[in-house]
């Protein structure tokens, strides 16, 4: 650590590389926190976790006992063990006893992206509620045709206030907070929708995963999905850097231009030789037009075709997570497979993740850390951290007593929060020595002034 500080001071490494190395060291030392504890207020399984996107301070959780709780992860409620362990109790709790509380399990709880004054919950009682955090009152609700599996809002949105809802119904519904009504529905899945994810590079693009094994890409401004992922459509490894792609594209265009020039010269020679070139050229044009028309029909997103029925998993898609740069998508299926997709080409990158065992009864929540590139996956009662590019298991977290349902990585503090069916919310923090607990720097002795 101090070697890197000296290199930064002398200018050997720049600030970005220094920050990346420090974060990488902290993430690689994640362990069950010995200085922070969240006292769970739930009496059932923890189904959803999210830290607010504005301050990175308030943790929102939803449980199968129909309760929703908020915790302040920056300021402790009390200190125990001589002030060494900080306990964080709930500062807000809504349960069945509340007049507008959910009646059945809360499957999804998310913050309003730009303000902690609102949060949204989805439940198995078929309702999606929008809550005022300060008054703990429901300001509006939406009735769904079946159990609500997942809700999501775009963190990039500046033009709409839409909540995407996946439920037992085959249609994805978009609820508009501004009007308090349904905006429109997205039809294409052949079974219930268990996972949703808004794009991290466009406020108009929504990704959905269904029990039919399909992952669909939607532009909410138009009808029909514009892409369906196919697990057999593959490419090996990461895409090349942008500059390299530009140079290869220029080379290919120059080659194609030379080829087109040569082909034009050949066709002109043939016309002069045959003498009836006008008839042949018109026939060729008709064939090209017919081929383009047929290709357009085959690829039209509104039609049911072989491409439209492509599947990303041999079972339900139970988890989706997009990287922060919007270039890659991670998916988890009930076939106990993890797949990494290139969003631009819609290809399976063929990253061979280590064999995992995933629970298949309900959706699960994945988490991603950007430095280094790790994906945290609930694997029954264990959480495993896989390298995104090699698929190897880098870390394992084993302190839960029952199946883990949700993970959330707090990039601000490099902490991981996990919720499980054992009713506990565990905090995984970078290693902190006893000297740091006592307020002494690691390179300082106890007797010096």
User: What is residue 9's predicted lDDT score, i.e. its pLDDT?
Assistant: 66
Residue 46, pLDDT above cutoff 90: yes
Query: Residue 425's domain spans which residues?
Result: 22-237+308-437
Q: Is residue 374 part of a domain?
A: yes
- Which single residue is written with the structure tokens 């043939």? 270
Tell me, yes or no, whether 330 lies in a domain.
yes
Q: Which of 45-59, 91-105, 348-362 has the lowest mean pLDDT?
A: 348-362
Tokens linked to 33? 């926190």
- Evaluate if residue 230 carries a pLDDT over 60: yes
The residue-averaged pLDDT of 282-304 equals 47
Residue (of 126, 128, 107, 127) closest to 118 by Cα position: 128
pLDDT over threshold 90, residue 72: yes
According to the model, what pLDDT value does residue 236 have?
81
* Upper half-sphere CA count for residue 364 (Cβ side, 13 Å): 33
- For the cut 80, the answer to whether the pLDDT of residue 293 exceeds it is no
* Sequence-separated (6 or more) residues with CB below 8 Å from residue 320: 195, 196, 197, 207, 208, 209, 215, 329, 330, 331, 332, 366
Query: Is 5 within the bounds of a domain?
Result: no
| For the chain, percent of residues with pLDDT exceeding 90 | 63
The percent of residues in the chain predicted with pLDDT above 70, rounded, is 78
Amino acid 213: pLDDT: 94
Phi, psi at residue 50, to the nearest 5°?
A: -160, 135
Residue 286 lies in a domain: no
Q: Does the pLDDT value for residue 126 go beyond 60? A: yes
Q: Helix, strand, coil % (nearest 5) of the chain?
A: 20, 35, 45
- Lowest-confidence range among 22-31, 141-150, 170-179, 189-198? 22-31
Residue 311 has pLDDT above 60, yes or no: yes
Q: Is the pLDDT of residue 299 over 70?
A: no
How far apart, in whole angstroms, are the C-alpha atoms of residue 83 and residue 248? 60
Whether 270 has a pLDDT exceeding 50, the answer reads no
Q: Stretch 229-237: mean pLDDT, rounded?
A: 89
CB 66, CB 106: distance < 8 Å = yes
Q: What per-residue confidence (pLDDT) applies to 244?
A: 52
- Domain presence at residue 259: no
Say what the pLDDT of residue 287 is.
Answer: 52
Two tokens, residue 189 = 């899945």
> How many structural domains comprise the chain?
1
- Predicted confidence at residue 100, as pLDDT, reads 87
Res 279: pLDDT: 43
Q: Among 1-10, 88-97, 115-124, whose mean pLDDT is lowest? A: 1-10
CATH of the domain at 95: 2.130.10.10
* Statement: residue 8 has pLDDT above 90: no
Q: How far apart are CA 196 and CA 175, in angstroms?
A: 14
Identify whether 258 is part of a domain: no
Residue 446 β-bridge partners: none
The CB-side HSE value for 19 (13 A sphere, CA atoms) comes to 8
pLDDT band at residue 16 using 50, 70 and 90 as cut-offs = confident
Of the listed ranges 139-153, 272-286, 369-383, the least confidently predicted one is 272-286
Distance CA 7, CA 4 (A): 5
CA dihedral angle for residue 53, residue 54, residue 55, residue 61, rounded to 10 degrees: -40
Residues with Cβ within 8 Å of 429's Cβ and at least 6 positions away in sequence, in order, are 30, 31, 33, 34, 35, 36, 413, 414, 415
Above 70 in pLDDT, residue 397? yes
Pairing of the two strands 415-420 and 425-429: antiparallel
Query: Distance of alpha carbon 440 from its chain centroid, rounded?
Result: 39
Query: Out of 56-60, 238-242, 249-253, which region has the weakest mean confidence (pLDDT)?
Result: 249-253
Compute the average pLDDT of residues 423-446: 65
Residue 337: predicted pLDDT: 93
Quickly state the pLDDT bin for 294 (edges 50, 70, 90).
Answer: very low
Position 298 in a domain: no
Q: In the predicted model, what is the mean pLDDT of the chain? A: 83
Q: Distances from the Cα of 23 to the Cαs of 17, 58, 229, 257, 412, in angstroms?
A: 10, 21, 33, 47, 10
Is residue 438 pLDDT above 60, yes or no?
no
199 — pLDDT class (breaks 50, 70, 90): very high
Q: Is the per-residue pLDDT at 255 higher than 90?
A: no
Answer whether residue 8 is part of any domain.
no
323-381 residue pLDDT tens: 988 999 999 999 999 999 999 999 999 999 988 888 887 899 999 998 778 999 999 99
- DSSP per position, 132-191: ETTTTEEEEEEE-SS-EEEEE--SS-SS--EEEEEESSSSEEEEETTTTEEEEEE---SS
User: Which CA distances in Å does 122 have to 101, 125, 142, 152, 234?
Assistant: 11, 8, 9, 10, 35
Cis peptide before 372 (omega within 30 of 0): yes
């Amino acid at each position: 650590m101090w070697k890197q500080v000296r290199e930064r001071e002398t200018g050997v490494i720049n600030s970005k590389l220094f920050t990346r190395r420090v974060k990488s060291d902290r993430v690689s030392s994640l362990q069950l926190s010995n200085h922070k504890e969240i006292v769970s207020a739930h009496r059932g399984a923890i189904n959803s976790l999210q830290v607010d996107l504005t301050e990175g301070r308030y943790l929102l959780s939803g449980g199968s006992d129909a309760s929703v709780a908020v915790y302040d992860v920056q300021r402790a409620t009390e200190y125990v063990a001589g002030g060494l362990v900080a306990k964080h109790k709930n500062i807000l709790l809504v349960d069945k006893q509340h007049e507008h509380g959910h009646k059945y399990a809360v499957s999804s709880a998310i913050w309003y992206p730009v303000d902690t004054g609102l949060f949204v919950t989805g439940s198995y009682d078929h309702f999606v509620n929008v809550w005022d955090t300060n008054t703990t009152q429901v300001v509006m609700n939406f009735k769904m045709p079946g159990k609500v599996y997942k809700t999501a809002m775009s963190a990039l949105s500046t033009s709409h206030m839409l909540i995407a809802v996946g439920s037992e119904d085959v249609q994805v519904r978009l609820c508009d907070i501004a009007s308090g009504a349904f905006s429109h529905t997205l039809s294409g899945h052949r079974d219930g929708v268990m996972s949703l994810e808004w794009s991290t590079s466009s406020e108009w693009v929504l990704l959905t995963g269904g029990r039919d094994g399909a992952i669909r890409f939607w532009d909410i401004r138009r009808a029909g999905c514009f892409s369906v992922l196919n697990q057999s459509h593959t490419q090996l490894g990461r895409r090349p850097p942008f500059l390299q792609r530009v140079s290869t594209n220029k080379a290919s265009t120059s080659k194609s231009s030379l080829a087109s020039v040569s082909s034009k010269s050949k066709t002109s020679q043939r016309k002069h030789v045959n003498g009836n070139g006008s008839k042949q050229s018109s026939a060729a044009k008709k064939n090209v037009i017919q081929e383009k028309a047929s290709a357009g029909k085959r690829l039209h997103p509104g039609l049911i075709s072989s491409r439209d029925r492509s599947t990303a998993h041999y079972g339900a898609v139970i988890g989706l997570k997009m990287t922060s740069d919007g270039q890659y998508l991670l998916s988890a299926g009930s076939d106990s497979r993890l797949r990494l997709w290139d969003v631009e080409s819609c290809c399976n990158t063929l990253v061979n993740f280590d064999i995992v065992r995933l629970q298949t009864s309900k959706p699960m929540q994945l988490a991603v850390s950007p430095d280094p590139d790790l994906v945290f996956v609930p694997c029954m009662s264990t959480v495993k951290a896989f390298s995104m590019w090699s698929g190897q298991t880098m870390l394992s977290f084993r302190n839960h007593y029952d199946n883990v349902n949700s993970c959330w990585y707090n990039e601000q503090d490099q902490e991981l929060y996990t919720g499980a069916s054992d009713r506990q919310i565990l905090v995984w923090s970078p290693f902190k020595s006893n000297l740091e607990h006592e307020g002494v720097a690691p390179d300082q002795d106890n007797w010096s002034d």
